[in-house]
Chain A
Amino acid sequence: MNLLLVGMNHRTAPVEVRERMNISEARLGAAVSDLVRREGILEGLIISTCNRIEVIASAPDQADGEPPLRQFLADYYQCDLNAYQSHFYWHRQQEAVRHLFRVASSLDSMLVGEPQILGQLKRAYAIAREAGALNGPLNEIVTQAFAVARKVRRETAIGTAAVSVSYAAVELAKKIFGDLAGKTIFVIGAGKMSELAAKHLLSSGASAIFVSNRTYDRAVELAAAFHGTAIRFEQLLDYVGKADIVISSTGAPHFVIEKPQVEKMLAARRNRPMFFVDIAVPRDIDPTVNELDNAFLYDIDDLEQVVDANKKQREREAVYAEEIVQQEVQKMMRRLASREVVPTIVALEERLNRIREGEVERHRSRLSSLTPEQREALDALTRGIVNKILHGPITELKSGAGHLEHRTLVQLIRKMFGVEE
């Protein structure tokens, strides 16, 4: 089997080109069916997301899958592929397997470690299966890609750190409070970012929410959306101390919350910790609040800093993930190679035994005078010769399984002994 992968991603192609090449999920089934119907293509899979398009195909041993694959792309996109040549990458055999494993494990993603790609890959897989485009070794490679992705996720911390500001706020809250169940949030000032952060916090288990805004109606509206309680802006400070997590994003030109006020709140809460997220510019909360024991204050720059650190953390984990992928690619290649060895050995044995039987048959008339014992001896003799001849190539086939040059060896042996594909 020849494996071939052609694709482009966010690094090799600008968004205009990726848009042009995008295949919507609704049309994916027809596209992949078209692909595998072509002469010289056995199986196929097409992944199309906003960051990448990947077309993977397998071709029979003797055939080169590239011409039909090129033709498919040219037909499908109705364009001259040469114009986009620089954006496409082509991978063959082991490199194609590696690329697929890396994509599935989110090592090739824009945000390394983000898990969305695995879901997209699974949908693409389901569509290709339904279209009958995956039913052989490629099917096995793709399902193995899922297993590799799971292994990477399980054995590395690649997907654990938050890489967006609002998730970083949730992550920090968890670092302070552990479980967020039963924790109360206070959102001061309505805004996109604070709403998003509040939503993430609530879905992570936080139970109650207060909302306050300079325009009370807006606070009521937002509180209703979150099943929370609206607080009048003038009464703000009476309630802030009841919340564990405070998200502030007012347009106020001065501090809304100051250090002595927080000090009082902490005393009233018997020093249970408080987490302040100040998304406002200019800032709403006096930065010296962070100096208080059991109070933690993060402004927008601090959150960005956490996100940056988390991204670096993921990159460090990616190095280890690459090692895992490398090992898995080797394993996969070995498995594929040994898959080809067994049928070859069987075919080889059959071929030589048929020759032997044919020859014995041909000389039957001249051997008719033999006693049964002698006939048996002759049988044993010819069988012995065949086995002696077979011994060398079979050992070679078995020991070589997994090596890169092995495929050529298999083909050579097949040719030498006249074994048909």
Chain B
Amino acid sequence: MRLVAGIDCGSGFTKAVLVAQNGFPGSSILGKGRAKSGINMDAAALAALQEALRDAGLSRDQVHYVATTGFGRYSVGFRDIQITEITSGARGAHYLFPSSRCVLDVGGQSTRAMTMGESGKVRTFKTNDKCAAGSGMFVVRAAKYLEIPLEDVGGLSLHATNPQPISSVCAVLAESEIINHVSAGVSVENILRGIHDSLAERAVGMLKRVGMQSEVTLIGGVALQAGMVKALEEKLGAKVNVPPDCDYVCALGAALLGHKRLAIKESLASVRQVS
């Protein structure tokens, strides 16, 4: 059994998964763990990996290969390979939903849309590079201002009866709109749903620009919020795939790609030995 760790160093959280491969094509996730990224990405990666190892009941020396992805992927000293979060997100989504051709990844500070081919290879992508509009930070800041734990946001948003529109252009200026809504007596549920609507609008714009195809898979930490999923489905007029561990999909994709890379490396090594 070969064991590969995929570590996704995001701007908010670092996620690690351990994937074992017992011959093609079966792969299984043995453990997962996460840690707050903070400013020391290397330490966060190690903490997430150790949690995943504890979860799996395995030890560090049993890990053959470490593949990192995400914004802090180059900061992890003990990595064997680094992969962009676009490639790994697409690969992870393809593994979970083989018929999906379109992925939307809404993370802490970035939103990405990708389309992919039949094998899970990325064809086109768009990402927010200039600013945090449309990213999870929007929700984080709103939750902080409204004094609501982040994990309650999704459920509250589902109960909105009259969502209030919030502009989708700047995460910082939107805060003022939220303050105005609060002072006008708008309920927290309606404000939160307004935020999800605003994120969904931004996301749909991005999906259209990459050439959206049917069956969209939503991944990233923001996909944990039920209200966001509902807002997106309403805007798209279609159901979207949301995997249960939607925030671990990039880490999973990195581990799967790590396995592939490891297999190539090993077969090259054996060819060299023979010759």
On whether the two chains bind one another, the answer is: no
